[in-house]
Copies of this chain bind each other. A is one copy, B any other.
Amino acid sequence: MNRTASIKDVATHAGVAVGTVSNVLNYPDRVSDRTKERVLRAIDQLGFVRNDAARQLRIGHSRTIGLIVLDVGNPFFTSVVRAAEDAAALQGSAVLLGDSGHNASREANYIDLFQEQRVQGLLISPVGDVTDRLDLLRERGVPTVLVDRLADESKFSSVAVDDDAGGYLAARHLLDTGRRRLAFVGGPTSIRQVADRLQGAQRAVKEEPDASLEVLEAEGQTVLAGRSAGNMLVARGRAELPEGIFCANDLLALGVMQSLTMTHTFRIPEDVALIGYDDIDFAASAVVPLSSVRQPTQLLGRTAIELLSEEVESQNPVHRSVVFTPELVVRQSTAAPDAG
């Protein structure tokens, strides 16, 4: 019982040819019930497990899809990964997951590894500036779909979420519930997502002549950054407080919420309305349940797999960019002030 059994061993043991065993595995209909049964018994007795390397070598490609994300710890990506795995499983493929951790060289390592594995294709949420590496992929002929990043449609398919629309949704919601003096709290606008969300919010505010939007730069995307932004607001006193605050993500919003409620001087949503972005698990279970903007991560993952399949099937490249619209999730933190 040293070496694992091969298809040849199974054939000998069942008294048939290797081709027949292969047929049992791949085209059961071509084999008569009697021999099929015999082969299956042999497989069971020998504990045979198909060697995927040999199969791949013959077939020419694997049944795996490479997926490289920026940060598996980020709930956004975790959810995308889950959905992609499920969608891939449905079509009989498995997902190889790589975490670049925003690091270009780790990303490059995974790209090489996945190429050696002859993945059917690649889903990638690329690190920083990118054109060179992606062009290389294109040359190598690896079907690739960009995730959470728009692409030149002549070159790649991509799936993304419309952050501008998300920002608009959030700000519009604050306006619709009667708030006029708004504030945006967000990290460096050099991050595309942050800039887009702000832009969408500004677009909404421009629709109301008597509304205003103040921008508060936060030094990061964390709870602590949110708290220090919040402390700044608290220090101003009641008269200067905005009526509605839109934070570029939920962590910031939770930080702001902490500083506003900690001092017991302001109430949410009566004095200030607060809305975040991403709808992380903690949003619903915050002290005051946090309104937020939810990205359709499931749909994102599933669609990415579908676009990749399209690329794999047809050889003439017809790339598509799919942009999803995020969804407003209303909770107590933005309840209308008169209703309170």
Contacts of A278-295 to chain B: CB distance below 8 A: 282, 285-287
Please state if B264 and A287 are interface contacts (CB–CB under 8 Å). no
CB pair A49 B287 closer than 8 Å: no
Which chain B positions have C-beta within 8 A of A72? 72, 78, 81-82
Enumerate chain B residues within 8 angstroms of A12, measured Cβ to Cβ.
none
Whether the Cβ atoms of B52 and A116 lie closer than 8 Å is: yes
A57-B53, A73-B75, A141-B1 given; A223·B118 CB < 8 A: no
The chain B residue sitting closest to A97, CB to CB, is B97
A 60-100 to B, binary, CB cutoff 8 A, 1 in contact else 0: 00100000000011010010011001000100001011010
> Which of chain B's residues have a CB closer than 8 A to the CB of A264?
264
Interface membership of A255, Cβ < 8 A: yes
State the copy count for this chain. 2
Contacting residue for A85 out of B78, B82, B99, B115, CB 8 A: B99
Given A54-B57, A57-B57, A262-B287, residue A116 in contact with residue B49 (CB < 8 A)? yes
**How many whole Å from A25's CB to the nearest CB in chain B?**
11
> Other CB < 8 Å A-B pairs besides A49-B112, A49-B116, A262-B287, 4 of them?
A53-B56, A73-B78, A97-B97, A258-B287
Interface on chain A toward B: helix, strand, loop, or mixed SS?
A: helix
Report yes or no: A285 in contact with B113, Cβ–Cβ below 8 A. Answer: no
Interchain CA distance A99-B78 in the complex, whole Å: 11
Cα distance A54–B61 in the bound complex, in angstroms: 11
Query: Chain B's nearest CB lies how many Å from the CB of A249?
Result: 14
- Within 8 Å CB of A132, what residues of B? none
For the complex formed, measure the closest distance between the CB of A92 and the CB atoms of chain B, giving whole angstroms: 11
With A139-B47, A282-B282 already in contact, the answer to whether A53 and B222 are too (CB < 8 A) is no
- Which residues from B are CB-within-8-Å of A224? 285
Is the Cβ of B255 less than 8 Å from the Cβ of A118? no
- Proximity string of chain A (208-224) to chain B, C-beta cutoff 8 Å, 1 when within and 0 when not: 00000000000000111
The yes or no answer to A227 lying at the interface (CB within 8 A) is yes
User: Is A50 part of the binding interface, using a Cβ–Cβ cutoff of 8 Å?
Assistant: yes
Q: How many Å lie between the Cα of A39 and that of B41 in the bound state?
A: 49
B116 touches A99 (CB 8 A): no
30 contacts between A and B (CB under 8 A): A1-B141, A4-B140, A47-B140, A49-B116, A49-B140, A50-B116, A51-B57, A51-B118, A52-B53, A52-B117, A53-B56, A53-B57, A53-B62, A53-B117, A53-B118, A54-B57, A72-B72, A72-B81, A73-B75, A73-B78, A82-B99, A85-B99, A89-B109, A96-B96, A97-B97, A222-B285, A255-B285, A262-B287, A282-B282, A287-B287
Find chain B residues with CB under 8 A from A287 CB: 258, 261-262, 287
In the bound complex, residues from chain B placing their C-beta under 8 Å from that of A50 are 116
The CB with the most chain B CB atoms within 10 A, among A1, A73, A227, is that of A73
